[in-house]
Amino acid sequence: MLRVRYVAVGLAALVVGVAGWWWLKSTPGLDHESDPRSAALVPLPAFDASVLDPDIAEAIALAREGVVTDPNDGRAWRSLAAVYDANDLADVARQCYENAIRLEPADERSWYDLAVVRADLGDRRGAIFAVQRTIELSPGYPAARWRLGFWLLQRGDLDDAEAAFSSTTRIDAEHAIGLIGLGRVWLQREAYQEAADVLGPVAAAGGRNAHHASQLLARAYRHLGRIEEADAAALRGLGAGLVDNDPWRTELEQYRAGLTTTMREAGQLLRQGRKDKAVALMEQLRRQHPRWVGVLTALGTTYRSAGRHDQSVRVLQEVIAIDSAYYPAHLEIARTYARMSGTVPAADGRRLQDRAMLSLERAVELNPTYAAAHALRGDLFAARQDHVRALASYRDAVRCDSTNPMLVYQVAQTHFQLEQWAEAADALEIVTRRAPSTAQAFYLLGVARLKLGQLPQAETALLRADILAPENPATLAALRQVRSEQGP
């Protein structure tokens, strides 16, 4: 049973398609294990309206009618998948997209949305397979190509990522995201002049991603010794993330229902620093849905983000009084207690940490596979310098969610604290493969290899850390130590 309880083009395209055919056929990831066409239709997922936001439940019920009327209608399965997808029910959306593909295997939109959902669920291999199929069916859609490029880049496949980004720019020579992707490839290859040549025009042209291009350009300039230009570019790019340009995914907005949309708006306000506005929006939702535990839990987390910890605790306690088995509330109240513990004297902080631990025990009792609860328990043990129990908790979190590289990083970091250098290095190798842009992981890997006397491997890791986060004093000091021990 579904137990979601919280709301928590033309000739150019033809040219690109022909030019990229060899690449699509040779790129790793085209494995038939990821092909939904090789399996039979799965039954219509179970549906329990009582555990969902009423507006979402109504939207799902309406979409299900089409599948119930004709279970062999691929378009009906796609519509149902879109409702699940737009309302953050990714695993059920994946099943429905796969059924839509089994019935209409030439529907590029279902393949594309399946790719994005698989990536969201941590299945990068399956995402790559699905997006490559999208490109075969619709070679002129740029977003499919740059998404493929970034997924390949995350996997460390620089040549294939370059091909994907280059094919994006063959569709549109000034495509900002395609050019930014190429810039990232050149940075990973330590080809800083080439990176600057690609990123400079994007940064200068303005547009939604100019600031993000400036961030990357600053890194290239710094390695080229152009320090003043690097500082200016870094200032222009301060705090800027990549802005997607993906019309197909934007169309899903029409399927978002009720509370989900409002809560996303509140989250956006928090990210903009408009905390009072976010709180007011969530309090308005509470007046409309005074006993809806998903709304109340989201209000509690909003209060916490706004620094209003006592109100956060009161609201989350109200949720637990309404439904004591609602495990997300136990995690969120533990997070609030943990946040509060850092704002009071040590003795009071310890008592708040004890309350957080009790709440986490209840969350894990209700849901033993709750990775976030195990991870927070590890954080609390680590704060008490109890690294042995922290390690056990982080390992529990990894067992619950083995696809999350940051959980493996916490395991590695704890081995590091315990001076278990070989175990730390093994875990950090996993992290750097899965999250190859994490400078701190490469730094710690370099130090662990240094402690093990593995100087060439240590130097390689530290050099990568310096590329990702230039001029970091700790990285430079470790590099000097490695080179000192290597001798002339």
pLDDT value, residue 405: 87
How distant is the alpha carbon of residue 350 from its chain centre? Answer: 32
Q: Does pLDDT of 22 surpass 80?
A: no
Please give the DSSP secondary-structure letter assigned to residue 5. -
Domain annotation covers residue 398? no
Residue closest to 83 by CA, chosen among 71, 74, 96: 96
Contact 114, 101 (CB under 8 A): yes
DSSP string over 80-144:
HHHHHHHTT-HHHHHHHHHHHHHH-TT-HHHHHHHHHHHHHTT-HHHHHHHHHHHHHH-TT-HHH
pLDDT digits (tens, 9 = 90+) for 257-297: 766 678 878 888 888 888 999 999 999 888 878 888 888 99
Query: Maximum Cα–Cα distance for the chain, whole Å?
Result: 77
Domain annotation covers residue 380? no
Domain annotation covers residue 43? yes
Per-residue confidence band for 240, with pLDDT thresholds at 50, 70 and 90: low
Q: What are the Cα distances from residue 317, in Å, to 216, 320, 326?
A: 45, 5, 11
7/264 Cα distance (integer angstroms): 9
What is the pTM (predicted TM-score) of this model?
A: 0.57
pLDDT value, residue 34: 80
Q: 35-44, 45-54, 92-101 — which one is most confidently predicted on average?
A: 92-101
DSSP string over 285-341:
HHHHSTT-HHHHHHHHHHHHHTT-HHHHHHHHHHHHHH-TT-HHHHHHHHHHHHHHH
- Residues 433, 321: one domain? no
464's torsion region: left (phi>0), alpha (psi -120 to 50) or beta?
A: alpha
Q: Among 367, 383, 412, where does a domain finish?
A: 367
Q: Among 367, 393, 415, where does a domain finish?
A: 367
Mean pLDDT of the chain: 87
- Residues 225, 274: one domain? no
Domain annotation covers residue 445? yes
pLDDT digits (tens, 9 = 90+) for 365-391: 998 888 999 999 999 999 999 999 999
Q: Does pLDDT of 100 surpass 80?
A: yes
pLDDT digits (tens, 9 = 90+) for 185-226: 999 999 999 999 999 999 998 888 888 899 899 999 999 999
| Residue 487: exposure state from Cβ atoms within 10 A (0-12, 13-18, ≥19) | exposed
DSSP string over 13-32:
HHHHHHHTHHHHHHSTT--G
User: Can you give the three-state secondary structure of 384-444, one letter per residue?
Assistant: CCCHHHHHHHHHHHHHHCCCCHHHHHHHHHHHHHCCCHHHHHHHHHHHHHHCCCCHHHHHH
413/341 Cα distance (integer angstroms): 22
Mean pLDDT over residues 4-22, rounded?
A: 31
Domain hosting 88: range is 11-236
- Residues 79, 222: one domain? yes
Domain annotation covers residue 177? yes
Contact 82, 113 (CB under 8 A): yes
Per cent of the chain over pLDDT 70 is 92
Domain annotation covers residue 383? no
Q: Among 367, 393, 427, where does a domain finish?
A: 367
- Residues 57, 123: one domain? yes
- Residues 191, 262: one domain? no
Q: Between 323 and 311, where is the model more confident?
A: 311
Mean pLDDT over residues 475-488, rounded?
A: 90
pLDDT digits (tens, 9 = 90+) for 149-186: 999 998 889 999 999 999 998 988 878 999 999 999 99
Mean pLDDT over residues 6-27, rounded?
A: 33
Q: Does pLDDT of 16 surpass 90?
A: no
- Residues 172, 290: one domain? no
- Residues 355, 417: one domain? no
- Residues 212, 343: one domain? no
244/121 Cα distance (integer angstroms): 19
- Residues 232, 278: one domain? no
Question: Structural domain tally of the chain?
Answer: 3
- Residues 350, 412: one domain? no
Buried-exposed string 51-69: b where 16+ CB fall within 10 A, e elsewhere = bbbebbbebbeebbebbee
254/192 Cα distance (integer angstroms): 42
Angle between helix axes 371-383 and 387-400 (nearest 10 degrees) is 170
Buried-exposed string 208-223: b where 16+ CB fall within 10 A, e elsewhere = ebbbbbbbbbbbbbbb
- Residues 284, 224: one domain? no
- Residues 231, 261: one domain? no
CATH number of the domain to which 132 belongs: 1.25.40.10
Three-state secondary-structure class, residue 162: helix
Task: Report the alpha-carbon angle 265-266-267, nearest 5.
Answer: 90
Domain annotation covers residue 2? no
Q: Does pLDDT of 300 surpass 60?
A: yes
Domain annotation covers residue 480? yes
